[in-house]
Amino acid sequence: MRLAPLGFRLFALVIVAAGGLALYSWGKGHPQDLPWTPLILADATGRFTQYKIARLRDDFPGCRAVLDRGQVDYTVLTPVAAGGACGYDDGVRLGRDSGGVYAPRADTSCSVAIGLFLWEKQVVEPAAMRHFGQKVTRIDTFGSYACRPVRGGREGRWSEHARANAIDIAAFRLADGRRISVAGGWTRTDADGAFLRDVRDGACRMFSTVLSPDYNALHRDHLHLDQASRGGWGFCR
């Protein structure tokens, strides 16, 4: 095989080096878009934010370290051992200083809590101001932990709820007292419907699975958010 002239090889080396330098410079300003950088809660969400959260699903100390670095107010929950596929040992509860007030209180796995924190700060709050000009003061849920298979049945694959790795969002309470519910607002074409779709779409950047009324009738009245392990792939509908 004939070797390329020295000048061509030097030119190619310069191009590769310049490309690497450009990527390095860009990456310094966009760490959220690089898979190997740590998750920083103060950063805007990027291409690999959900991937970084998913890596923390089985790393409770690492997950708590992310919350600690972000100065997030939270409480570690007492582990629950229910036998079989149920129970959890990585539960936390976000404090009032860390975001919206949940009703009932959101006791979730640590990785779900990180998703909720980012979702509130970077999606829910901006969407509420954009559509309503006011803040969300409470988020109503159908709960997180529930020892049951999917679809609420008695048999089949276990739900992410069985490990507190999911939460169902039912409605949002605004500062003026208005309640924007998924059941009542999803099909509307006004600000209520636009807000609900914005918070659904934004959740897909923080959670591996997001299910809404567009998915099926079982989700007609809530948004299902979870951090299921999907091998790096998310599902949002």
The domain of 232 spans: 39-236
Judgement on whether residues 154 and 215 belong to the same structural domain of the protein:
yes
Q: What is the pTM of this model?
A: 0.86
Nearest-angstrom CA–CA distance, 67 and 51: 16
Q: How much is the pLDDT for 83?
A: 77
Judgement on whether residues 202 and 95 belong to the same structural domain of the protein:
yes
Judgement on whether residues 57 and 88 belong to the same structural domain of the protein:
yes
Judgement on whether residues 83 and 28 belong to the same structural domain of the protein:
no
Judgement on whether residues 87 and 132 belong to the same structural domain of the protein:
yes
All residues at 6 or more sequence positions from 32 whose CB lies less than 8 Å from its CB, including other chains: 40, 43, 44, 45, 46, 47, 48, 49
Judgement on whether residues 7 and 73 belong to the same structural domain of the protein:
no
Judgement on whether residues 117 and 8 belong to the same structural domain of the protein:
no
Judgement on whether residues 81 and 146 belong to the same structural domain of the protein:
yes
Q: How much is the pLDDT for 32?
A: 76
Nearest-angstrom CA–CA distance, 28 and 136: 33
Judgement on whether residues 16 and 83 belong to the same structural domain of the protein:
no
Judgement on whether residues 12 and 98 belong to the same structural domain of the protein:
no
Judgement on whether residues 12 and 61 belong to the same structural domain of the protein:
no
Pairing of strands 136-143, 101-103: parallel
Helix, strand, coil percentages in the chain from 3-state DSSP, rounded to 5: 40, 20, 40
Q: What is the pLDDT along the chain (237 residues), one digit of tens a residue?
A: 454 566 656 555 656 554 444 444 544 557 778 989 999 999 999 999 999 999 999 999 999 999 999 999 999 999 999 877 899 999 999 988 766 689 988 899 999 999 999 999 999 999 999 999 999 999 999 999 999 998 765 556 899 999 999 999 999 999 999 999 999 999 999 999 999 999 999 999 999 999 999 999 999 999 999 999 765 568 999
Q: How much is the pLDDT for 18?
A: 46
Q: How much is the pLDDT for 121?
A: 95
User: For the chain, where are the alpha helices, taking DSSP H only?
Assistant: 6-29, 49-55, 60-69, 110-119, 125-132, 182-185, 191-203
Number of domains in the chain: 2
Judgement on whether residues 89 and 122 belong to the same structural domain of the protein:
yes
The structure tokens listed for 115 are 């998703």
